[in-house]
Amino acid sequence: MAKSSIKLRAKVKDDVVEVKALIKHPMESGNRKDKKTGEAIPAHFITEVMCEHGGKTRLSASLSGGVSKNPYVSFKFKGGASGDPITMNWKDNKGGSDSVEAKIK
């Protein structure tokens, strides 16, 4: 399998798990034009990011083309322990998707 587009890090500190994710994605807003041809670059961005842990959805985020290229998403939750598996997945407006699993440190 190809390397996942998601870099997922989760770390426990004082009972709170801090999740940091970096996703490789162009995040084209659809508002830009190709400088040479003048043609509009079609929108291509992640619409949904979801993070699950312990059978529960910890975060479900909706993004738009206004989020930077290779988006960084971070959040925190309580109730996780070191060694627990945590998964994240994303979907984009063109039907693309990816997911990754990591362990909480």
* Site for other proteins, rule CB under 8 A: 16, 29-33, 43, 47-48, 50-51, 56-69, 71-80, 91, 93-95
Give the H/E segment covering residue 47. Answer: strand 46-53
Q: Which is nearer to other proteins, 69 or 105 (CB)?
A: 69
Q: Which is nearer to other proteins, 3 or 68 (CB)?
A: 68
In angstroms, give the least distance from the CB of 37 to other proteins.
Answer: 14
In angstroms, give the least distance from the CB of 82 to other proteins.
Answer: 16
Place of tokens 């998964």: 87
In angstroms, give the least distance from the CB of 26 to other proteins.
Answer: 12
Q: How far apart are CA 7 and CA 10, in angstroms?
A: 10
